[in-house]
Structure 1
Amino acid sequence: MTERPSTPAPQPRLRPGPIAIAFATALALAAVWQWSNVLLMGFGAILIAIALRAGARAMHRYAGIGLKPGVLLSGLAAVLVVAGIVAWAGPSISGQFRQLIGSLPDAWKQIEDWLGQSSIGQFLERRIEDAQANGGGGEGGDLPTVFSYLTGTLTTVFGGVANLVLLITVAIFLALDAPMYRAGALRLVPPSYRARAGQIADELARALARWMGGQALDMAVVALVTGVGLWLLGVPLALVLGLIAGLTNIIPVVGPFMSGIPAVLFALTQGFDLAIYVALLFVLVQQAEGNLLMPLIQRYAADLPPALTVLAILAFGSLFGFAGIVLATPLLLVSIILVKRIYVEDVLDDWQGD
């Protein structure tokens, strides 16, 4: 009688204890902090990938083009649009931008002259002179200093170009094989929670896509209205100033100041009255955008509380610098959805609906 081979007893699964979990959590937080720039770049690549997938889905719906060819065609279309804009308006924008940069010293000189004639300006000037006298300081125009400045500038420019190329490359790979990356990420979640995690991931993708669509429309309207308004006022650099206003409008609260200050400074070189009119134009455009356009867009996109938006800009800006400021709004959107779905609904079991 032949004996059946005995089946090996099932091995007990390794379950990490509380100390191992705490150590792993601390290690993960340290890695997140150390690689924060890489993670921000990855988040930016995800945003671009979502936009490419949205274009691919539109091509698939209306033209029957496959998703992967649609992703490549969407990227090619974006490149052609940018190239067309550069070819059509690039020389004019470049010349106006150089003129804007060249006019800023004259505008600042006028501000200094005005401040020098006022009591507030004289007080500030005395404070600055006292600070310089107490702090000392040597000559700033020596050769090593200039060489270091040029080297740092070139390093920043080439680093920015390299990061942009990497960002676009990663975004294309993510967009081409989005289901594979989604499935791989869900494999890191315990099986009993994967369905819920998939629902939350899909909701995040839809919310970010709506936010990007609404933000693109908002930026285009602000750029157009600002450019036309500056042109009607007779400001010579209406095209580039309107473009700056549209691009910086991606940053809530801070963006209008980033675009308004150069515009007012340049208008000041043309006359004090024109500078006042330009400042009023920017105030009117931002009021109309905040009270009329943005509420309409938020009905389709995402309604973010203004107070939390300001706090998010301060928090992410202090943590991650300028990149954190630019990505503060989508990061806040992701944080709100995660807190609502995971903590409020799943942990607190508070299902009140949206």
Structure 2
Amino acid sequence: MTEPLPKPPARPRLQPGPIATALAGILLLVALWQWSNVLLMGFGAILIAIALRAGAAFLHRHAGLGFKPGVVAVALAVVLVLAGMVALAGPAISDQFRQLIGSLPDAWDQVTTWLSESSVGQFLEQRMEDAARTENGGAATDSLPSVFGYVTGTLSTVFGGVANLILLLTVAVFLALDAPMYRGGALRLVPLSYRARTGRIADELAQALARWMGGQALDMLLVAVATGLGLWLLGVPLALVLGLIAGLTNIIPVVGPFLSGIPAVLFALTQGFDMAIYVALLFVVIQQVEGNLLMPMIQRYAADLPPALTVLAIVAFGGLFGFAGIVLATPLLLVAIILVKRIYVEDVLGDRLGD
């Protein structure tokens, strides 16, 4: 009598729980990618709301004003200051902007003339002409549709940007007015065992972003004043608007100085080649002082971010989200560093950093 053969081991069945979780995670990542522009706008609105709440907290401590009236007072004060600046300096700034735009063609002509007289410039010009002929099939009229498309695309981008800015400011004001309600609603989505920890991390993020914005605003102001004063001492006519551009673009690390220095040097070329060199040296000196002396002092009280990670964040977020990613790269990096420290290093690895 033969013994029965042993039954083969049963194959493990796939549990629906992990599969559903993986699918939900994939769908969430796809949704986040599709809504990346909305999420970036929301992040920008949160930054503005934090600034409004910080101003309201200052009024609450020193004037006893409630948070909601304080937010309204801060927003109205910003609007009045901007309106006053436009009323007082607006005509001069707009006139200087017109002069700057009108002078750029002459500056570009001088650059192209200088390039055409050099062997390197002739080589680059020949390569650009060959590339243009290859792209257009040798016909100049073929480029007309692309020109009209560029103009209409630019107009739609401008109007879309204005609409997005209005929406951004509106959302920021609503967030600032009822910040505790939105914070509490977001925390209710977190399991009870992690809710207190999540609340502490959220408060740390808000404080770090508030310190970063305060330090960045001070840095932008000092760079604008130093650039405008230096250009005025050099005798550059459009010192006011060029200093304003330098201060505004300084919000973008590494890239910002180039964005403000290029139009300044181009305009200085209309005043002479020596003036262009002086202006370029001025921007180099200001950025060296700002990067090696001013910013470390500000970061000591604001947010100390590693320079290498900052550059990589600009490249990464810029490649993913375009110009908005470049502008928001630094605060996004700050958020990422805090989340990695608190959630991964401390909670997952169990290594208490103590900072």
Query: Same fold per TM (> 0.5)?
Result: yes
1:20 and 2:26 correspond: no
Identity of aligned residues (%): 79
Aligned equivalent of 1:186: 187
* Superposed displacement of residue 322, structure 1: 0.2
Question: 1:44-75: CA deviations, max 9, x gaps?
Answer: 00000000000101111111111000001110
The verdict on how the C-alpha distance between 1:140 and 1:52 changes in structure 2, with shifts beyond 3 A counting, is farther
Tell me how large the CA RMSD over aligned residues is: 1.6
Q: Between Structure 1 and Structure 2, how many residues are aligned?
A: 340
Tell me what 1:87 maps to. Answer: 87
Contact 2:215 2:299 in 1 (8 A): yes
Is 1:29–2:36 an aligned residue pair? no
Residue 270 of structure 1 aligns to a residue in which SS? coil
Secondary structure of 2:270's partner? helix
- Alpha-carbon distance in 2 for matches of 1:281, 1:332: 30
How far 1:132 sits from its partner (Å)? 2.6
Counterpart for residue 334 of structure 2: 333
Q: Could you report, residue by residue, the CA deviation over 1:22-54 in whole angstroms, capped at 9, with x for unpaired residues?
A: 111111100100000000000000000000000
Give, in angstroms, the shift of residue 134 of structure 1. Answer: 2.8
Following superposition, the deviation at residue 133 of structure 1 comes to: 3.1
Residue 85 (structure 1) shift? 0.8
Q: 1:66 to 1:296 in 2, by over 3 A?
A: same
C-alpha distance in structure 1 between counterparts of 2:232 and 2:153, whole Å:
37
Structure 2 gap ranges (5+): 1-14
Report if the CA contact (8 A) 2:208-2:302 is conserved: yes
CA distance in 1, matches of 2:143, 2:327: 35
User: In the alignment, which residue of structure 2 is the partner of 1:170?
Assistant: 171
Instruction: Give the superposition deviation at 1:108.
Output: 1.1
Residue 149 of structure 1: how far off its partner (Å): 4.1
Q: Report the Cα offset of residue 136 of structure 1.
A: 3.0
- Report the Cα distance in structure 1 between the residues aligned to 2:313 and 2:148, rounded to whole angstroms: 37
2:55 maps to a residue whose letter is G
Looking at structure 2, the residues matched to 140 and 70 of structure 1 have their Cα atoms a distance apart, in angstroms, of: 59
Partners of 2:136 and 2:143 within 8 A in 1: no
Distance of 1:341 and 1:17 partners within structure 2:
28
Q: Secondary structure at the match of 2:350?
A: coil
The alpha-carbon deviation at position 142 of structure 1 amounts to 8.2
Structure 1 unpaired stretches of 5+: 1-14
Q: Secondary structure at the match of 1:235?
A: coil
After superposition, give the CA deviation of every residue in 1:226-250 in whole Å (9 maximum; x if it has no partner).
0000000000000000000000000
In structure 1, the residue matched to 2:96 is 96
Note the 1:216-255 alignment, pairs <5 A: 216-255=217-256
Give the structure 2 partner of residue 107 of structure 1: 107
Task: State the partner residue of 2:56.
Answer: 56
Partner in structure 2 of residue 68 of structure 1: 68
Deviation readout 1:85-118 (Å, 9 max, x if unpaired) = 1111111111111111111111111111111111
1:9: which partner in 2?
none
**Aligned partner letter, 2:205:** L
TM-score normalized by structure 2? Answer: 0.93
Question: Within 1, Cα distance between the matches of 2:254 and 2:126?
Answer: 32
In the aligned structure 2, how far is the partner of 1:73 from the partner of 1:288? Answer: 36
Aligned to 1:205: 206
- Aligned-residue offset at 1:128: 1.7
Other-structure match for 2:274: 273
Q: Could you tell me how far apart the structure 1 residues matched to 2:68 and 2:349 are?
A: 41
